Homo-oligomer: A and B are copies of this chain.
Amino acid sequence: MNDLVDDSVTALAVGVDVGATTVKAAAVGAAGAIAAFAERPTPDSSAEIDECILDLVASLRDRCGPPLGLGVGTPGWTSADRRHVIYSPNLPWRNDPIADRLEQALQLPVVLENDANAAAWGEYRFGAGRDCTSIVLVTLGSGVGGAIVIDDTLIRGHHGCAGELGHALRETNGRPCECGRRGCMENYVSGRALVRRAVEVLGPDADPHRAALDGDPRAVAVYAEFGEHLGRGLADDVMLVNPQSVVIGGGVAVSFAQFAPAARRALDDELGPNWRGIAPSIVVAQLGPDAGRIGVADLARQNANDRGKEKA
């Protein structure tokens, strides 16, 4: 009996998704199922975040036994070798060799991954992309992120910065962007952009999702406009990468049914007649806010297996 439990236990990997407000951890099995969760508010300093991650791993270990590896998803850019965080917009890390430090502390194989890449990997392996050979994941959160998986490979880019589709041009001299330019995608299809537009159209207290569900034509129009921007903007990415599916994740994806029809129409229109019948499907992400920790746990499993092979 004990042997059996030990056997299932050693098959778990831990994924930790470090966000600006919450550090979310999970022990995940080989088929993507979460065996146990653990979360903490994100602390301020790099040292405290280390400690927080170690505590979360300890808590999961207490419940599920020793994991075979740890994966850490982080916003911003990780080095191509997945050992350093180069820059993370909302976190204190700057050229920080997190993987080596945690590895030393835990005596476990540790690997880093950009959070959008981690989520894309999760969806590709176990979620909306599990029957696809290639996906582009678009995360519509407060900002807009992206990631690409092709033939079982995350497209990380030469400096680990690939997939940044939130700052592609949507409108010349358009809405001002935090990045200093104007007209970036992020100013049309992010959660922030949606809220801003909903306030303009519906007033400051309205719930646009609720209002659209109730059939309020102004709210329906806000989502149709949102979907049109999304579909037209995605056309450039689709022409460059030609993925089998575009998977829409992030907080705004809760309103997928409200904006997806307009997005599909706009994408087809923008791609034109040559793409008729071969445009990618636009589908909603299936793992929700767990995609990152599930994905990075699976990458941790791969990393541990690869290291094992190196040793052998």
Contact = CB atoms under 8 A, between A and B. Distances in A.
Interface of A: 77, 87, 133-134, 146, 148, 150-151, 153, 155-165, 167-174, 179-181, 183, 232, 236-237, 239-244, 270, 272, 274-275, 278, 280
A242 B158 contact: yes
Nearest to A76: B274
Nearest to A275: B161
A70 B77 CA distance: 42
Contacts of A155: 150, 155, 241
B150 A272 contact: no
Given A172-B171, A172-B172, A179-B272, A160 B240 contact: no
Nearest to A86: B278
B167 A239 contact: yes
> What is the copy number of this chain in the assembly?
2
Contacts of A148: 240
Contact of A240 (B162, B274, B275): B162
Contacts of A270: 181
A133 B169 CA distance: 27
Given A77-B274, A164-B242, A168-B236, 4 more contacts: A87-B274, A159-B278, A168-B240, A179-B272
B272 A181 contact: yes
Contacts of A179: 272
A45 to B, nearest CB: 22
Q: Which of A153, A155, A183, A270 has the most CB of B within 10 A?
A: A155
